[in-house]
Structure 1
Amino acid sequence: MSRVVLFEINSQDPEKAAHFYSTVFGWEVAEPNWGYHPVTTGTEDKAGINGGISKGPSDFPQGTRIQIEVDDIEDSIKKTAQNGGQIVRDKMEFDDFYLAYLVDPTGIGFGLIQYK
């Protein structure tokens, strides 16, 4: 079973968003890396789902998207397309993981992540 492992908050003003979530909810927001502010929402005693805040691209300028961890990102992309979903950004490679952005048949955006 695939599970939700991260979230992304996209904003056209990520610094303002980072300040807001840090101040209102006490989230730990780190300095940006490639324009992505890593966010910690829990502790060892009380788990949370971590994620990040970044400047949203033109095709997703603002909003929240979950990241679903999968064992085989290419297979999950294929199944998404076969079941009426759309591929927004195909498989991208990073140092420790692969990432893709998709939209389900109802218009909800989500990400896929496969760790190497």
Structure 2
Amino acid sequence: MGKVIGFELNSQDSEKSVEFYSNVFGWKVAEPRWGYREVDTGGIKGGISQGPHDYPHGTRIQIEVDSIDVAISKAKDYGAMIVRDKMEFDDFYLAYLVDPTGLGIGLIEKK
């Protein structure tokens, strides 16, 4: 299960965001309440909501995964665009992608 530190994702297509994150990372997403869906990632909780037109997309977040290669493959299957493929650093691997609704996220795999 992908873990994050904390977040709120704004999206112009929140249903598509819910489908993407629950299927790719196994997140548990609650039913909508006032246009906001609570999200349990197994780490800090966050939410997915319909972004306002003057700020339609949220800020990129960092998601820790067990296997960056598996996560990238699943993300592509669900419509993600890879911005920067897997990069190697001293203690971790990092990749950047954009989900199917245009939200930027980073993937981190610790060595």
Give the TM-score, by structure 1 length: 0.49
Q: Which 4+ stretches in 1 moved above 6 angstroms? A: none
CA 1:95/1:5 → structure 2, altered by over 3 Å: closer, same or farther?
Answer: farther
Alpha-carbon separation, structure 2, partners of 1:87 and 1:2: 17
Structure (1 or 2) with the larger CA radius of gyration: 1
Task: Indicate conservation of the 8 Å contact 1:85/1:105, yes or no.
Answer: yes
Task: Indicate conservation of the 8 Å contact 2:59/2:103, yes or no.
Answer: no
**Gaps in structure 1 of 5+ consecutive residues:** 8-48, 50-62
How far off is 1:65 after superposition? 1.4
1:66 matches 2:61: yes
Which position in structure 2 is the counterpart of 1:85? 80
- The structure 2 residue matched to 1:108, chosen from 97, 103, 110, is 103
Q: What amino acid sits opposite 1:114 in the alignment?
A: E
Q: Report Cα offsets for 1:23-74 as digits up to 9, x if no partner.
A: xxxxxxxxxxxxxxxxxxxxxxxxxx8xxxxxxxxxxxxx831100000000
**Gaps in structure 2 of 5+ consecutive residues:** 8-43, 45-57
Of structures 1 and 2, the one scoring higher in RCO (CA 8 A, sep 6+) is 2
Q: What amino acid sits opposite 2:4 in the alignment?
A: V
Aligned residues: 62
* Identical columns (%): 69
Helix, strand or coil at the partner of 1:3? coil
Alpha-carbon separation, structure 1, partners of 2:87 and 2:72: 12
Give the TM-score, by structure 2 length: 0.51
What's the RMSD between the two structures over aligned residues?
A: 2.0
Q: What amino acid sits opposite 1:95 in the alignment?
A: D
Alpha-carbon separation, structure 1, partners of 2:6 and 2:90: 17
